[in-house]
Structures are given as structure tokens and as C-alpha cells.
Amino acid sequence: MGRTSRTLHRWAGNVKIVACRPRVPPKHVPRLIPRMNVIRRRVRSPLTARTRRRSCMRRCCTPLPIRWAHRLQVDSDIDDINTDTFHLDIWDHDDESCVMDAVSRLNEVRGVRGLGRFFKQVCQSARQGSQDDFLGSVNIPLSEIPSTGLDAWFKLEARSHRSTVQGRIRLKLWLSTREDRSTVSEENHEQQIHKVEQLQRVFMQHEVTTHEPSWTWCGDLPGPALTILHQLAVQSDLSDLHCAMARYVAAAKLNRSTPLDPKFLHRLLSDVEKQWNQPNQEALSRDLEQWLADAMNGFVERSLNQIRRHRDIFPALNPPSLIRLEFLLRCLGLLGSMRAFRAVCPFNKGVRGEVVNALRKGSVMWGQTVMRESQSMPNPLSNFVTTLTADIQLGQTYYHALFDNTNGIQYFSIIYKQYDAMVGEEVYSRMAAGQVPGVRMNLSQYAVLEGDAEPVDTKPFELFLALQEFCQLKRHLSAQPQPPEKPLALSNSHEWFIPTLERWMMVSKAKALQRIRAAIRMDAICEGERIVRYSSSSVDTASTLLNIKEFWKVLNWPDEDTAIMMESQLIDVVCSAAMHYCDLIHTALADSGYYEQQGPFRCSDDMCVTVNNVEYVRRTLAEFRSDEQPLEESADNLLESSLTHMENRCERILSKLAPLMQMSLQKAMFHLAWSPDSLPANQAIVPLLEYLDCHLAALNSALLTKNFNRSLRFIWKTVLGEMSRQMETGDETDKPTHFHKRLYEALQLLIDFFHAEGQGLLLECLHTEDFWRIEQRLQFHKTDTDRLIDMFYMQRLREQLMAVMPSPYGSLAVRAYFNHDSLCVEVLHARDVVPLDPNGFSDPFVVIELLPRRVFLHCMEQQTNVHKRTLNPVFDECFEFSVTLEQCLTEGAMICFTVMDHDVLTANDFGGEAYLALGNIPGVADYSTSVDNFHGLKQIELPLMEQKDKCNPILQILEVRVNDKQAQDFVRKQKSRFIN
């Protein structure tokens, strides 16, 4: 800082005392109250100016070290910068107090040291006036203080060699020179501000030229430039606000021609706002406010222009450009909230609203450019919509968060609604004018083109898919448009394409049938990995169906109501195509004489290829059914009927296999059944298994898994039929001893063979009704007569439990209980007994019998009295049987009630029977509780039954046991109960 001659300069010194660490004698510690005297000492001047400032910490006891911040501003004339010195004294302030106050604190004294302090305070109070204690001083030559300031610790000095001073003080000092404000006009002051701004711009321009591109300069000036600017500001007596404004205005003007880093501009704006909000800030002149307003408005205008062209200036896929855009938006957001901006630009409409308008205008301009460029494309509208969709997706990913986080602007919603209006207007007008091939306007609705021979143009579908992709993005809108707000223009755009889609359905059906016929004419055999054979026509047909399915999936029709209608038409197309193919190839197989051929069986290539083709297409058609999106009922029924039709075709083709094998299976089964007893079952079954293994292996390699399992079911049914035939052939006396045992073992071996450890038929498929019937009959053949009779009665008891009331043969009401080795049975009455006499009535009576007979041999049958000419007899008779609890708990123990019609001249007629399990009656079910009589017991109403199954397997097996008298008697008794 030099000295200017012939001009009066004042020294404006600023001192900030940050901390002080004086070292004082211990006796001064309790009442150390610092006070500073600042002396501006000019060595050459005979006078010394002294100013005393008292600390705000007065009348408080402060421990050492002392920390405080106190700012002083001192003005003084400077004679010689090289010799003048800044002098600072530090004192210990003592408050004035009277002797009586000091003596009154005698009762507060504690200890010897406290007594010494007490006498000191009394002596100080006795003094005349206030005498402060000197703590130290600091002397700093002004030539050692740079213009940018000084921040350091200084050691306290004593006034003479006899003084003892210790400690340090930290000072922040800065000084400046300025002219006397009284001699400087306001106009000159503003000129100085403009000079600083121009110099700032020169330095910035120089720095920008050294960086390419210009926005890579971070805004830092070199040291010499900062020094010059600082000296100029000091000499011009500029405040921090003036300097901040000058820096910002310079950067804003430079930014108009040379783009600067928005982060640097944001920092300058923040500095202006910070200085503007400082307390006691002097007001700006009108010219300076206008000067700042012009800079801010120019920056806003340039920024809005960049926002309009942000896609080109700030590419989304360039991360550095996104950072620049973010800080540009931060600058605009800061401007909108700055007190300085509102003060100098009071009529501004609002930065946020202008940003929104800039986004809208920029989107319209960009969309119009895209539309012009799309005119050279094959499908201009589709390309136009696709490009806008890609842009809005890019904006959602990269731009939306920047605008939202910085200014609370919903970028996506603004751009999407703008594009929606543009696309809706453009597409609707062009489709109405017939500029979109494939659709035309007819009474405000789109109709299909005339002429079925004309192929369907794909351009409308390309446009539809592009519009659908665009419409799907509306889920990202912050809020859907609500009345009275204008609704989205493309919300129902799919309705424009309904006629086009309907015509496509019709054409697709015709094309599919045509392609299927052509594929059959060019059929060729194909082989898969397992040599499973099918033909190329099935692949072409399946591909046709899948193409239709994929096209519908890609369309993703948005309207649920019309989608159901369209989906039904789609199902009709694919079902018609699949069934047409199935009928054609099945007819070709039938014409080849497949159904007329006779055995022996051989694996036919035509049969295998045909049935595989049908199954291949059927499996493809079944994929149109989904659990996630159920079809409409009529469409689902159509699909189900088509799948069933194709399933029946496969079943019919494969059903021919079993008859061709029947003769060979019959021979092998005869060998198994009638082999001598010396030949075990596992050896007797070998010819049958070898024959099956040979032909089933050929079928397995030639058929699809589904078809192979179908053929297995037919062959399994034929094997069971042949086994049943061998069981029923011949007289029981002529059969080998182990005939039924061998067949039973063979049946288990056949189960294992066809199941093939899970590789063949499932056990659920093997356990058919025929299997259970044969297995049961073989089990019965192995069972003795007594056990079979017991099983027969248990079957009758189960049938009764499953019978519904009322029974067509009437019912019987009874009561029974067991007590003290005595079974009491009461027959109460019967209702609706079957009339067995010519007069329309019966003469009923009831026979009571305990079963099984081998358990209750000592208990004879008992019967009620005969009631003449009635269908609802009331018996009210009680019967007692001497039995034990163990007998009643025997498996199958029951009471048999037989209703008979009494005849005098002929045998009594059977009128029905009922059964009551002994295990459920009182006294047996809860045998720990005794029952003394019938009082309190509920009556049981049993439905009467008659014999209906003349082919009961137990009776048939017992009937063939001609040498077993018990079996013959039982069969004869049961046959008398059959319904005539």
C-alpha cells in the first residue's frame, strides 16, 4: 500500500481480538476483568491519541485464559507507513466499591488465602477513584500488516524492564486507505464500482481463454489479480456487497457470450445474497439497483433459453452436462428466493413459472423439429411418436429429479402433457385425412378398408404400438388430470384401431387356414432328440398359432371391455386353425386304410407321425389358457371344446393299437394262467412281458410322452380284460390249484411293469375300476367261505349306511342294548312295507338273527308275531339273546332284521332286510356304563333293503364252490331275496 501525495488519506484500521492469554500474579486471578486501550501511535508525532474501551464482560469473574471476539475500527491520519505503529494496551478492570461493602463480606472468608484476598479488597475500596491493573501491550508496525489482513498470536510486552508481563493475544488485523468520503461524490463512487466490475471481467475473460471449453474454468483468479482487485476496492472504499455485486455482474455479462460454470455463478449469487442480508447494510442507489437488475434479468433470460434447448446443450447421457444443468437450475431457484432479486426486480413474474413456460415452449419446438425430420421415414407418425417416447423416458430417468429437487418442478408431467397434446392433434388430424394407411374416418369412427383380397398394412399397428408405449408412461404422472382440467388427448386412442384389428382377425384366420393347407402339401418328416417323429406341418401350424398369440400379447389392448371381445375373436381364429389342421391330417390317415388293417401289431410311421402332429398342435393351443388371466366364458368353452376334440382324435388313433395286440396278448395270458402249478408266476409271465417290452419300446421311441401314456392306458385295459377272461373261463374243478394265486402275483408284476418306477403310467392311472374288480375277485378266490360270508354282510351294512331315507322298501324302528351278558332287542314298528299280496297288503313279521353265525351258533333265530293285512305294522315285541361282550365286539357282529310276508299255502315272501351293528348299541359302545332297561333310549329307524346285484362277486365265487355245502346254502338263501 503506497502513499498518495497531496491527497488526504485516512487510515481505516480494523482489529478483531479473538483470544487473550495473559499471565498475571495469582492474587489477580479472582477478579480479572480485561479492558483494552487501543493507541494509534505515530512515532513522528509529538501527540499520542489514547482511546479506552471497556469489555462487555465487566463485573464477572472470568477464568484464564480469556477468549472473546471484539471488533474495533480506528480512523487515523498516516504520516509515514514505514514508521507508524499500531499500539494495544490490556488492563485488568477493577469495579468501584465502598469500604463498608468490602467489610460486610468478612463472614464469607474461608481459610488463610481467603483472608488475604479480603484485606486486598478492603484496601482497593479505600482508594480514591478506580485504578486498573496493567496486563501488557502490543506494538505492531503498520508496514508489517498486509492489505489482505493478518491473523496471528502476539506476545504481550511490558512498559518497562521492571514490569513482569506474560501471555499472548490473538489479533485479526486488516487495514485500508480511502479518500475522505466528504470529498467523494455518489457518482464517482458508482464509477469506482463499475471500474471494479470491468477489471473483474477482464481478469475472468483472460482465465476463460486458457480453458477449453470455457465452462471448465472453476472461477478462481490468480493471486496477483485478487491483490489488484482488493487494492482497488479498498482505495475505492467499496463494501463487501459492492464487491460481491461487481463480481456477479462481471460474470453475468461474460456469461452472455462465453458460457461459464453454473456452479461458479451459483457461488457468486450466494455471496450477493449473503452480503445483502447483512445487518445495517447501507442502501444502494437507484442506478446500482438497476445495474444489478439488468445483470440478473439477463442471466435469467439466457438461462431460460438454455432450458428451452436443454436436450442439446445438456445431453442426458453426458454426466458433466447434467451437473452443469443442476447448478443452472440451482441458480434459478436461488434467484427466485433471493431478497436482493425481489428488491431490484419487483415486477418479475416468478422464476419458477418462467422455467415451466420455457420447458413447454422448448418441448413444442423440439417436437416440431422431430416431426419435420420424420417425414422422410417410411412411417412418419410411428417414428414421431417413438422418438417422443424415447425422449420422455430419457427425461424421466435423468432430467426429472434435477428439476424436482432444485425448483420443485414436475418435469415429467409437464413434458408428457405437452407431448400428449401434440401427438393427439397430429395423429388424429392425419388419420382423419386418410394419411395413415389401413384406416379411414367414417361417421367419426374408423372403419376397415374394403376388399378382403387386399393385404393388411402393418403401419397402423406400428403406430398403435408406438401410441400404447407412450400411453403406458402416464403411470409416472404426479397426478392424473382432473376436471375442469383438459383430459389427456390419447387416453382413448386405442378406439381408433378397433376396425383395423377386427379386419386383421378375419384376414389372419383366412391366412392361417391357407398356410396350414400349404404346409400339409409340403409336409416332411422331422425327428427330435429322442427320435420322436412328427412332420413339418405341425411345426408350421404351431408357429402360426404362436405368432397370433405373440401379436396379441404385444398389442396389450388397454381397454378391458373391448379386450374381452377381441380375445374371443382371437380364440376363434386359433381354434379354427388348429381343428382344421387336425381334421385334415386325421382324414389323410383314415384314407390310408389305417382303421381297416388287421393284426398282428406293428409300429406304423404314419400313425405315429399323425398322432404326434395332433398332440404337438394341441399342446400349443393349450398355451392360450392362463391361470393369471382367465378367458371370457364363451371363449374358454370354445377353447375347451377344441382341446377335447383334438384329444378325442388322439384317443381314436391310439385306440387301434390294443385290438391289433389282442390276439398275441390272449395267447400270452393263457400261458400265464394255465401253466402247471410247478411253474412260478414270475416265470409264467415272461412271454407276456417280453411281448409287451418289445412293442412298447418301439412306441416309446416313436411317440410323444403324452401319446405314449395314452397308448399304455389302452394296452393296460386290454391286458386286464384278457386276465378277467381267463379268470372266468373253464370250470373251477379243472383249474390248477394255484390258478388264482398265480394270477394275483402276476397282476402285481404287471403293475410294476407298466409303472416302470415312475417312468410309465402313474399308479392313479393303473388303479382303474377294472383293476380293482379283478384284484378283488382274486382276493375273494383266496379267501375261505366263512370269511367271504362275513365280508358279504359287512358290504350290506355299508350299503345300508349309504342308503337315503325314505327307502322305497320302507323302514323298521328298533331299539337294542346289552346288559349283564344279555342282548335285548325290541322291534317297535315298520312303515311303508312293500305290498306282496294280491289285495295290496302284506302279512308282515320280522325275523331276528345274530351274525356271523359261527360266532352266535347257540343263539337261534327269533321272530315277531304276524300282523295281517297291513303295510305299517306295530310289533312292540322284545327279544333277549344270551351273549357275551366279547362276542358283541367281534368284527362284523350285527343283528339282521328280515321282514317276511306270511303265506299259508306257499313259501313266505321276502319283504326287505336291515342290519344293526352290535358295536354301536348301548352297553357295547360304552360297556363301562350299565343299561338296565329301555327307558331313555332312542329308537333307531333302519331303512329296509332288497337284493339287487345278481353279479355280486362274493356270491359268484361261492356259487362255483359246488363241493362246499355252506357256500351253496348261503347262495341259495341270498338268491331267494333277489328282486324279481
Place 116 in a pLDDT band, splitting at 50, 70 and 90.
Answer: low
Using DSSP, state whether 803 is helix, strand or coil.
Answer: coil
Is 314:308 a contact under the CB 8 Å cutoff?
Answer: no
Check pLDDT > 50 for residue 649. Answer: yes
Q: What is the mean pLDDT of residues 396-420?
A: 93
Strand ranges (DSSP E) for 56-132?
66-77, 85-92
Q: CA angle at residue 832 from 827 to 835, to 5 degrees?
A: 110
First to last CA, the chain: 141
Sign of CA dihedral 387, 388, 391, 392: negative
DSSP assignments along 840-876, one per residue:
S-B-EEEEEEEESTTTSTT---EE-----SBSS-EEE
Superfamily name and number for 786-976:
C2 domain (2.60.40.150)
Check pLDDT > 70 for residue 127. Answer: no
Lowest-confidence segment of 2-6, 479-483, 764-768, 769-773 by average pLDDT: 2-6
Share of the chain above pLDDT 90, in %: 32
pLDDT value at residue 603: 81
Is 401:412 a contact under the CB 8 Å cutoff?
Answer: no
352: cell is: 419458477
DSSP assignments along 199-222, one per residue:
HHHHHHHHHHHTSSSGGG--SPPP
Q: What count of other Cβ atoms lies within 10 Å of the Cβ of residue 666?
A: 15
Check pLDDT > 60 for residue 24. Answer: no
Q: What is the mean pLDDT of residues 31-54?
A: 36
CB burial readout 28-55, b (16+ within 10 A) else e: beebbbbbbbbbbebeeeeeeeeeeeeb
Check pLDDT > 80 for residue 862. Answer: yes
Place 442 in a pLDDT band, splitting at 50, 70 and 90.
Answer: very low
Looking at domain 656-782, its CATH architecture is Up-down Bundle (1.20)
Rounded to whole angstroms, how far apart are CA atoms 329 and 300?
A: 10
pLDDT tens digits, residue range 712-754?
999 999 999 998 888 877 666 667 777 888 888 889 999 999 9
CATH of segment(s) 501-652? 1.10.357.50
pLDDT tens digits, residue range 617-634?
999 999 988 767 788 888
Domains 10-97+129-178 and 501-652 alike in fold: no
Rounded to whole angstroms, how far apart are CA atoms 431 and 397?
A: 32
CATH of segment(s) 10-97+129-178? 2.60.40.150
CA dist list (Å): 657 to 355, 570, 647: 81, 36, 16
140: cell is: 505492531
pLDDT value at residue 803: 84
Q: What are phi and psi of 726, to 5 degrees?
A: -65, -35
Q: What is the mean pLDDT of residues 896-923?
A: 88
Lowest-confidence segment of 18-32, 356-370, 511-525 by average pLDDT: 18-32
Share of the chain above pLDDT 70, in %: 80
Higher pLDDT residue, 437 or 255?
255
Rounded to whole angstroms, how far apart are CA atoms 320 and 328?
A: 13
pLDDT tens digits, residue range 873-883?
999 999 999 99
What residue spans of 756-815 are helical by DSSP H? Answer: 763-766, 769-781, 785-802
Place 413 in a pLDDT band, splitting at 50, 70 and 90.
Answer: very high
pLDDT value at residue 177: 58
> What H or E segment, with its residue span, contains residue 899?
strand 894-901
Using DSSP, state whether 281 is helix, strand or coil.
Answer: coil
Higher pLDDT residue, 20 or 684?
684
Lowest-confidence segment of 775-779, 818-822, 901-905, 924-928 by average pLDDT: 924-928
Check pLDDT > 50 for residue 499. Answer: yes
Place 8 in a pLDDT band, splitting at 50, 70 and 90.
Answer: very low
pLDDT value at residue 152: 85
Check pLDDT > 80 for residue 644. Answer: yes
pLDDT value at residue 33: 36
Higher pLDDT residue, 860 or 101?
860
Check pLDDT > 60 for residue 513. Answer: yes
Rounded to whole angstroms, how far apart are CA atoms 157 and 164?
A: 9
What torsion do the CA atoms of 247, 253, 255, 257 make, to the nearest 10 degrees? -150
Q: What is the mean pLDDT of residues 291-298?
A: 93
Half-sphere exposure of residue 977: CA atoms within 13 angstroms, side-chain side = 20
Q: Is the N-terminal amide bond of 852 cis, ω within 30° of 0?
A: yes
CA dist list (Å): 92 to 23, 88, 153, 285, 527: 12, 14, 20, 46, 111
Higher pLDDT residue, 806 or 64?
806
Q: What count of other Cβ atoms lies within 10 Å of the Cβ of residue 233?
A: 22
Composition of the chain by helix, strand, coil, percent to 5: 55, 15, 30
Instruction: Please give the distance of CA 176 from its chain centroid, rounded to a whole number.
Output: 69
pLDDT value at residue 56: 33
Using DSSP, state whether 151 is helix, strand or coil.
Answer: strand
Lowest-confidence segment of 235-239, 316-320, 557-561, 670-674 by average pLDDT: 557-561
pLDDT value at residue 235: 80
pLDDT value at residue 47: 27
Higher pLDDT residue, 225 or 6?
225
Using DSSP, state whether 738 is helix, strand or coil.
Answer: coil
Q: What is the mean pLDDT of residues 159-188?
A: 69
432: cell is: 382423419
Q: CA angle at residue 31 from 25 to 33, to 5 degrees?
A: 100
Please state, rounded to an integer, the average pLDDT across all residues of the chain.
Answer: 81
Rounded to whole angstroms, how far apart are CA atoms 74 and 71?
A: 10
Rounded to whole angstroms, how far apart are CA atoms 389 and 420?
A: 10
Sign of CA dihedral 560, 562, 568, 572: negative
Q: What is the mean pLDDT of residues 648-666?
A: 90
Q: Specify the DSSP class assigned to residue 915.
A: E
CA dist list (Å): 384 to 338, 476, 752, 770, 963: 41, 21, 67, 69, 98
CA dist list (Å): 712 to 273, 668, 682, 761: 90, 17, 21, 7
Q: What are phi and psi of 809, to 5 degrees?
A: -105, 10
Crossing angle of helices 769-781 and 705-728, in 10° steps, is 30
Q: What is the mean pLDDT of residues 211-240?
A: 88
Place 49 in a pLDDT band, splitting at 50, 70 and 90.
Answer: very low
Q: Is the N-terminal amide bond of 844 cis, ω within 30° of 0?
A: no
907: cell is: 313259501
Q: CA angle at residue 667 from 665 to 668, to 5 degrees?
A: 65
Domain ranges of the chain: 10-97+129-178, 186-348, 372-478+487-491, 501-652, 656-782, 786-976
Check pLDDT > 60 for residue 827. Answer: yes
Q: In what order do the strands lie in the sheet containing 133-141?
A: 49-54, 34-41, 85-92, 133-141
DSSP assignments along 313-366, one per residue:
HS-TT-HHHHHHHHHHHHHHHHHHH-HHHHHH-TT---HHHHHHHHHHHHHHHH
Using DSSP, state whether 677 is helix, strand or coil.
Answer: coil
